[in-house]
Structure 1
């Protein structure tokens, strides 16, 4: 590549707009290439159980300084047990469908730790039933949490990153149902919400890259949580897995954690606007 020109533009020629300079995303010369969350403060929505709790454990195991669960539910036994192992895993009761509640929680994190480096917009809900049976209130509830909740969490945290001068990372939990139908547990509205989540990440990544903010998503397949426990107990489970292909089991939520850690870490400084399917090859073709 030829060196950049240093010529002065002729008189009267328009100059480049420098009112909004881009944040450099190049690693520093003394950058450590270890994949780690050391010294980072991470917020995870819906982390009092399920996938969110698994992500929180893996983040703590990879040296995150603090991990906060932003969840409307009260901490359960598993959450409390993880806090005993990792005292810097904290919970803030948060309604992610309320912008006021989200902003209050993010402000509390910054007040307590002085910073925030990453957000996992993970809170979500599903309902499995035939498409003919869904009514408008059910769809509005699902979109309010899965789509609007993720969007406003990202927007509020991005503003905080910019205010603090932090090159932060946002990771949203999408789903393999954003790519293809789920034969084992069909839900047209759920797939639609997760497709919206996956798609919005691409545009947010483009818009916010000039601030050094990266936005990505992860699409899990079958994961063992309170919402999916019944799937592998179904007498048709074996036959359905033959139709899907892939690993004939549900994933432990912690098996997703490595991808979240990578996307939250500085090691992924050139990774933005992508989705990572983690589904035991289910739906990978």
Structure 2
């Protein structure tokens, strides 16, 4: 996305829109129907972007309306593991809106089984969503960005489990795929830098969303997680979305290949 928004500005005179403004940009958010994805869609829309939510399940009208912003949000159903469907949906975004500037790769899956009990079928399912799906969406978005010649920003959702061995409970397929996203992010950032496509990731801690509903139902487990977090609490979705907004916008024009932890200090210990 280059340095647009900064040209001609003096130190001390830079506006917030110069850092975060996304007017005229088109942003796609996978897994955007709830949780972190929905919060990201709302933040991007508030910054002026035209947002398209991509979710495996149809997005309810009231959820879509909650995105807000100056432009009505759009929604398309898409399975990130289906290459043909990914290709078709991204082509549809470009056909409808003329471009794609930002991709938030947020769709994810967790099957919390011990490694010795985890079936190959379950392993493959998590890999398909968390790693192959991220690659397919990033590759497809980048093809459109390269063809347009206007650069872009891709933000992948990793996890604190991408940078930690865990130890709280078994979650091997999730940890392995999220760890892979960190290095996939680095590699794509290097490969696509000549096209001015920035690729970064976020590594959130536990966030109060439907994704961790089984954990939220276990008070003793949540107490352990909070005790392991220096801020002594888990995150809310709206506390993660500003990091995505930063990485998507012109204020991060020199940031690529980076994984930004949003973790309440979890990884600092």
* Shared fold per TM-score greater than 0.5: yes
1:114 CA drift (Å): 1.0
User: 1:136 and 1:152, CA in 2 relative to 1: closer, same or farther beyond 3 A?
Assistant: same
Measure, in 2, the Cα distance between the counterparts of 1:85 and 1:36.
Answer: 12
Question: Deviations 1:48-79 (Å, cap 9, x if unpaired)?
Answer: 11211111111112221x11111111214762
Measure, in 2, the Cα distance between the counterparts of 1:245 and 1:26.
Answer: 36
1:102 CA drift (Å): 1.0
Instruction: Please tell me whether residue 272 in structure 1 is matched to residue 256 in structure 2.
Output: yes
1:196 CA drift (Å): 0.5
Question: Deviations 1:216-271 (Å, cap 9, x if unpaired)?
Answer: 00000010111213434423246513651322222111211111111111221111
1:97 CA drift (Å): 0.6
Instruction: Please tell me whether residue 58 in structure 1 is matched to residue 43 in structure 2.
Output: yes
Instruction: Give the counterpart of 2:231 among 247, 260, 274.
Output: 247
Measure, in 1, the Cα distance between the counterparts of 2:209 and 2:85.
Answer: 26
Instruction: Give the counterpart of 2:196 among 212, 236, 252.
Output: 212
Aligned to 2:56: 72
Instruction: Please tell me whether residue 45 in structure 1 is matched to residue 30 in structure 2.
Output: yes
- Matched residue pairs, number? 261
User: 1:156 and 1:185, CA in 2 relative to 1: closer, same or farther beyond 3 A?
Assistant: same
Q: Which runs of 5+ in 1 are unaligned?
A: 1-23
User: 1:86 and 1:130, CA in 2 relative to 1: closer, same or farther beyond 3 A?
Assistant: farther
1:127 CA drift (Å): 1.3
1:179 CA drift (Å): 1.1
Residues 38, 67 of structure 2: 8 Å contact kept = no
Instruction: Please tell me whether residue 120 in structure 1 is matched to residue 104 in structure 2.
Output: yes
Query: Larger helix proportion, structure 1 or 2?
Result: 2
Instruction: Please tell me whether residue 260 in structure 1 is matched to residue 238 in structure 2.
Output: no
Aligned to 1:104: 88
Aligned to 2:127: 143
Instruction: Give the counterpart of 2:7 among 22, 25, 29.
Output: 29
Aligned to 2:173: 189
TM-score, with structure 1 as normaliser: 0.85
- Larger-Rg structure: 1
Measure, in 1, the Cα distance between the counterparts of 2:145 and 2:98.
Answer: 12
Measure, in 2, the Cα distance between the counterparts of 1:211 and 1:87.
Answer: 28
1:193 CA drift (Å): 0.3
Residues 47, 70 of structure 1: 8 Å contact kept = yes
Q: Which runs of 5+ in 2 are unaligned?
A: 10-16
1:185 CA drift (Å): 4.0
Measure, in 1, the Cα distance between the counterparts of 2:3 and 2:64.
Answer: 39
1:130 CA drift (Å): 1.7
Instruction: Give the counterpart of 2:219 among 235, 243, 251.
Output: 235
Residues 46, 72 of structure 1: 8 Å contact kept = yes
Measure, in 1, the Cα distance between the counterparts of 2:90 and 2:19.
Answer: 27
TM-score, with structure 2 as normaliser: 0.89
Measure, in 1, the Cα distance between the counterparts of 2:222 and 2:208.
Answer: 16
Instruction: Please tell me whether residue 169 in structure 1 is matched to residue 150 in structure 2.
Output: no
